[in-house]
Chain A
Amino acid sequence: MERRQNPQQQRNPRRNPPPPSSSSHSSNHRSRYRPPNRAGGDARAHHRGDSYLDSRDAAAGDQPRSVVRPMPLHASEAATRSSIGGHDQDREDERDCRELASVVGTCPHMCPVGEMAQRERLRDLAVFERLHGNPAKTSPKLAVKKFCRTISTKHGQSSDIRPFSVLGSTLDYLMSLMNSAAEPFETVHDFIFDRTRSIRQDLSMQNIVDKRVIHMYEKMVNFHVISHHKLRLRSSGPDSFNISSLHHLNMEQLAKVLTSLYNLYDLNRDHNSVVHKNEPEYRSLYVLLCLNSESLPEGERLSLWFRRVPSPVIKSKEMSFARRILRYFRMGNYSRFFSTIAAEASYLQYCALEPYIDKVRALAVLCINNGGYKLHPYPMAHLSNLLMMEESEVESFCNACGLETSLDEQGNKVLPTKQPAFNHPKAGYGEYGFSGLENICRGREAEENV
């Protein structure tokens, strides 16, 4: 404050008459306050990187925005704040975008002309963007604007930003690539992941948050959820390490897109609080993704999350399904867990909860092994029905759990109980199907969701 520079003030260090009981004689009462070094992390420093930071603070603060990083809360989060930057960069982008007065984009193509030319020159074209496979040539029908990490909003021109209608058709084009069999799925995923992020960036910069955008975000959620399923299928091959980190990053991004979608639903709710048509299903996905509270370390605990879900959504069929699945999972009721999924899950819901299916199967095998009578080995045929698996797969699953199977007198396969060597199968141990999956997929085609 400028008054401190006032010479009159400086003659008189204390601005108030000392109170009678004052015993403090700190000599640095005029120096700037410095927070003490704290072992567990400085509360202020942590907050600086936080998304809820007042943008004024950041501008006036000591550190340039792009360098600000929150302190990792625990090791797994530190690991995910990899070189890619993840969370914090997105929040800073959002902040940048909000501060820029709403621009209206005018770029008529999926990719701005300047970027197309530059990437042709640098031979920085993704497989899908190459004209006749030529790594140095693309076309307006193929090139899609990349996500730009270090976007400087001051230099962002409206001719580089795509307007809403172009963004819509760009998204539809990207979605059409999802079933492309020409490339391995990781390549498809990577491309769509990046390009849809760029779409969200353009939407943010133009501050488009009305109803029109909801359907676009829903499609992007579809992409991430289906990737959640498809990437998992591929995580037991030679590339499994890379794919599992892709899977993890996908999960992070999925959580973010879902949160944005929920904000859009809230923002666009009519006063008679009618919910959007697809809102119940998309809300239910969060529950199914978080059955196990550790799966999204930064995610809100479900107990807290439910508090803010609108009542019509809670009472919906889709949310009721999700809540029952949650109950069966938490209680360990494997019987109902599988039968309910087979009977009621939509394709998206199935993809969201798929990682838990094998966990529950392992729990079932564990309980049966521990609690089953030694002289009554458990029939594998029955087990396969219970766990919604093919018989051949059940056998290999039990083996993955460290358990042996055998044959009874009639030659039927059985699982002897009270085996001492149970272990939980390692992650990525294999892909086991789900017996009801064809019905679920058929249901999806009928819905014509995407």
Chain B
Amino acid sequence: MAAYLSMGEAHRRITDYLGRFSDAVSSQDVASLKHILSLSSNSASLLSLADALNLLQDANRLIKQSDRFSQFAEIVAPLFRCIQNYRLGNLVDAYPAYEKAANAFIQEFRNWDSAWALEALYVIAYEIRVLAERADRELSANGKSPEKLKAAGSFLMKVFGVLAGKGPKRVGALYVTCQLFKVYFKLGTVHLCRSVIRSIETARIFDFEEFPQRDKVTYMYYTGRLEVYNENFTAADQKLSYALAHCNPHSEANIRMILKYLIPVKLSIGILPTDWLLEKYNLVEYRNIVQALKRGDLRLLRSALEAHEDRFLRSGVYLVLEKLELQVYQRLLKKIYIIQKQKDPSKAHQMKLEVIIKALRWLGIDMDLDEVECIVAILIHKNLVKGYFAHKSKVVVLSKQDPFPKLMGKPVNA
């Protein structure tokens, strides 16, 4: 990229950019404005502007040249600094400059009555987050404490505040909310989502149905995930199912992301996905788990969890999947019951604990009498098995009616 750049050409490029900016604002051309503010697009025009700025070094003079440009100085001057740093790969300095420009932009935005510039604001919200993430990566790589993403979170809250009013701009609030979710999830400060969720869901100025569909889907996806982490499976099912139902059917990547969390939820309430679904969206890590539930195969469940341990831990569904063990036990006991019924229907409802131990040993799992009795006691307590156990005779006596109640779409009792 060592093409020779003359001062005159540099001048021209910068003035050209300033002109486009001011024209975009005065004619309310949001499409052009979006393009101008988007750093991560790495567009050729942006890069060529960056070269020009780095050559000229004193763009402020050009900004002050005319009223047409100088009215936007507080936005454009830091934006130029950002672009220069960005081009040089110095993200740690690019971020604060962009934030300064963005801050000046929202001051202007507040004064504009209509919501014409909302999509430009979306670009800013997005760029703030993405720049901050990159800046933090740079900081960490240099052994310093990453802090830009935290700052981005604060800034986005400010933007949220600007949009949270009675006017037409309020439909933008959900987009900003979703950017905030992404920030908080990345930082691990997920509890901060609570306040903004509360604003969206309880404030009278917001009507959820008014928001753009795309934002509603994203919002339900993230709040659904939060319900998964909090193990509120009914709420998680509702939200993630909403996201799935309203998601663009051609967007396979998004559907996959939703299913990644919806499947463990459905499994927890006793609903199994088909193999076809798992294959189509490349979610084969769940295949053995589904099999284990169908067969009552405890060994298969444990080995499947181990095989994909990292993946499940990173996505945060490991603990949910681990708890499926109780349902696997239920299935195993049911199978033993069915076999016993075939042999001798009159005695089928009595199951020796020894038989259960044998079945488990056959699966390669060692369990002593105490533990088997304990498991049986727990299954009875959680209503996965109806009956009682007799300690002295080491037997579990099953109810003659419906000894293995189905979950019926409800999670196992806590």
A contacts, CB < 8 Å to B: 1, 3, 14-19, 21-22, 24, 26, 29-30, 33, 35-36, 38-44, 46-47, 50, 52-54, 57, 73, 209, 267, 293, 298, 300-309, 311, 314, 326-327, 330-336, 364, 366-368, 370-373, 375-376, 378-379, 382, 386
The residue that A19 contacts in the complex, of B28, B203, B319, with Cβ under 8 A, is: B28
Q: Does B195 contact A26, Cβ atoms closer than 8 Å?
A: no
Q: Which of A40, A209, A306, A364 contacts B313 (CB 8 A)?
A: A306
B-chain residues with CB within 8 Å of residue A334 when the two chains form the complex: 374
Name A304's contact: one of B162, B167, B188, B376 (CB within 8 Å): B188
Q: A33-B162, A303-B318, A306-B316 are in contact. Are A335 and B371 (CB under 8 A)?
A: yes
**Contacting residues, chain A, for B315 (C-beta < 8 A):** 307
Once bound together, how far apart are the Cα atoms of A14 and B25, in whole Å? 13
- Interface-lining segment among B33-41, B209-217, B388-396: B388-396
Task: Return chain B residues, CB-CB under 8 Å to A333.
Answer: 371, 374-375, 378
CB distance from A3 to the nearest CB of B (A): 7
Whether A367 lies near B377 (C-beta < 8 A) is yes
Give CA–CA (A303, B231) in the complex, Å: 10
- Among the listed B112, B168, B201, B390, which residue makes an inter-chain contact with A16, where contact means beta carbons less than 8 Å apart? B112
In the A-B complex, the 3 residue pairs with the smallest Cβ-Cβ separation, listed nearest first, are A373-B390, A335-B374, A40-B202
Task: List 9 A-B residue pairs with CB atoms under 8 Å apart, sorted by A's residue number.
Answer: A26-B113, A39-B204, A40-B199, A43-B198, A44-B158, A304-B229, A305-B188, A307-B188, A308-B188
The answer to whether A41 and B188 touch across the interface, beta carbons within 8 angstroms, is no
What is the distance, in angstroms, from A87's C-beta to the closest C-beta of chain B?
A: 12
Select which of B151, B160, B390 is within 8 A of A54 by beta carbon. B151
Complex contacts, B410 vs chain A, CB 8 Å: none
Instruction: Chain A residues near B373: list those with CB within 8 A.
Output: 335
User: Are B202 and A39 in contact, CB atoms less than 8 angstroms apart?
Assistant: yes
Give a binary string over B79-107; 1 marks a CB under 8 Å from any A CB, 0 the rest: 00000000000000000000000001001
Which residues of the partner chain B approach A309 to less than 8 Å between Cβ atoms? 313
B242 within 8 A of A: no
In this complex, what residue of A is CB-closest to B412? A331
Could you tell me which residues of chain B, from 168 to 197, have a CB within 8 Å of some CB in chain A?
168, 187-192, 194-196
Contact status B316-A307, CB under 8 Å: yes
Chain A contacts for B166, CB-based, 8 A: 36
B314 lies within 8 A of chain A by Cβ = yes
**Is B168 within 8 A of A24, CB to CB?**
yes
Q: Are A327 and B160 in contact (CB under 8 A)?
A: no
> Which residue, of A42, A327, A335, has the highest number of chain B Cβ atoms within 10 A?
A335
Q: How far is the CA of A42 from the CA of B229 in the complex (A)?
A: 25
Contact A19:B116 (CB < 8 A) given known A33-B165, A331-B323: yes
B161–A35 touching, CB < 8 Å = yes
Report the minimum CB–CB distance from A99 to chain B (whole Å). 13
Task: Report the nearest B residue to A305, measured CB to CB.
Answer: B188
> In chain A, what residue has the closest Cβ to B394?
A376
Bound complex: CA of A391 vs CA of B320, how far in Å? Answer: 36
B322 touches A303 (CB 8 A): no
Establish whether residues A43 and B161, one from each chain, have CB atoms under 8 Å apart when the complex forms: yes
Which residues does chain A contribute within 8 Å of B371, judged by CB atoms? 333, 335-336
With A30-B111, A43-B196, A368-B377 known to touch, is A304 a contact of B316 (CB < 8 Å)? yes
| Bound CA span A15–B26, Å | 9
Q: Is the CB of B316 within 8 A of A303?
A: yes
Per the 8 Å Cβ criterion, residues 138-166 of B in contact with A are: 143, 145, 150-151, 153-155, 157-158, 160-162, 164-166
Asked whether A331 and B195 contact (CB < 8 A) given A14-B113, A35-B164, A39-B202, the answer is no
Provide the residues of chain A in CB contact with B187, threshold 8 Å: 52
Which listed residue, B28, B194, B228, B391, touches A73 by the CB 8 Å rule? B194
Q: Which residues of A contact B381 (CB under 8 A)?
A: 332, 366-367, 370-371
For residue B414, give the distance in angstroms from its CB to the closest CB of chain A: 10
Cα–Cα distance between A440 and B391 once the two chains are bound (Å): 31
Q: Is the Cβ of B314 less than 8 Å from the Cβ of A307?
A: yes
**A47 near B157: Cβ-Cβ < 8 Å:** yes
Q: Which B residues are in CB contact (< 8 Å) with A3?
A: 71
Q: Do B313 and A307 have beta carbons less than 8 Å apart?
A: yes
Closest beta carbon of chain B to A367's beta carbon, Å: 4
With A22-B114, A35-B164 already in contact, the answer to whether A300 and B191 are too (CB < 8 A) is yes
Residues in chain A near residue B319, CB distance under 8 A: 302-303, 306, 326, 330
A101 → chain B, closest Cβ, in Å? 16
Chain B minimum-CB-distance residue to A45: B195
Q: Assess whether A335 is in contact with B157, with CB atoms less than 8 Å apart.
A: no
Interface: B74 (CB within 8 A): yes
B110 on the A face (CB < 8 A): yes
| A39 to chain B: closest residue by CB | B202
Q: B145 touching A267 by the CB < 8 A rule?
A: yes
Residues A371 and B380 in contact, CB atoms below 8 Å apart: yes
With contact pairs A33-B110, A33-B162 given, residues A371 and B389 touching in the complex (Cβ less than 8 Å): yes
Is the C-beta of B58 less than 8 angstroms from some C-beta in chain A? no
Contact A43 B322 (CB under 8 A): no
Whether A373 and B199, one on each chain, are in contact in the complex, defined by CB atoms closer than 8 angstroms, is: no
Taken together as a complex, chains A and B put the C-alpha atoms of A100 and B392 apart, in Å, by 71
Expressed in whole angstroms, the Cα–Cα distance for A302 and B318 within the complex equals 10
B325 interfacial by beta-carbon distance below 8 Å: yes
Residues of B within 8 A of A53 (CB): 154
- For A302, what are the chain B residues with a Cβ–Cβ distance below 8 Å? 319
| Inter-chain contacts of B26 with A (CB < 8 A) | 16-17
Q: Which residues of A sit under 8 angstroms from B314, Cβ to Cβ?
A: 307
B338 on interface, CB distance cutoff 8 Å:
no
Q: Are A301 and B230 in contact (CB under 8 A)?
A: yes
> Distance (Å) between the CB of A253 and the closest chain B CB?
18
Complex Cα distance, B378 from A354, in Å, reads: 22
Q: Which of B150, B154, B157, B380 is A43 in contact with, Cβ under 8 Å?
A: B157
Distance between Cα atoms of A33 and B106 in the complex (Å): 12
In the bound assembly, the distance between CA atoms of A370 and B371 in angstroms comes to: 17
Q: Are A47 and B316 in contact (CB under 8 A)?
A: no
CA distance A293 to B370 in the complex (A): 28
C-alpha gap A313/B393 in the complex (Å): 44
CB neighbours of B167 from chain A (8 A): 24, 26
- A29 to B112 CA separation, bound complex (whole angstroms): 8
- Chain A residues, CB < 8 A from B110: 33
Chain A residues lying within 8 Å of B290, measured Cβ to Cβ, are: none
A-chain residues with CB within 8 Å of residue B380 when the two chains form the complex? 367, 370-371
B205, A36: Cβ atoms closer than 8 Å: yes
Contact in complex: B323, A36 (CB < 8 Å): no
For B282-313 the 0/1 string (1 means CB < 8 A from A) is: 00000000000000000000000000011001
B317 interface residue per 8 A CB criterion: yes
A17 to B28, CA, bound (A): 9
CB distance from A131 to the nearest CB of B (A): 43
Q: Is B397 interfacial (CB-CB < 8 Å)? A: yes
Interfacial chain A residues near B108, Cβ < 8 Å: 15
CB contacts (< 8 Å) of A327 on chain B: these are 322, 325
Q: For B370, give its contact among A38, A57, A386 (CB under 8 Å).
A: A386
Q: Provide the residues of chain B in CB contact with A308, threshold 8 Å.
A: 188
Residue B326 is within 8 A (CB to CB) of chain A in the complex = yes
Would you call B161 and A304 a contact (CB within 8 A)? no
Which residue of B is nearest A24, CB measured? B113
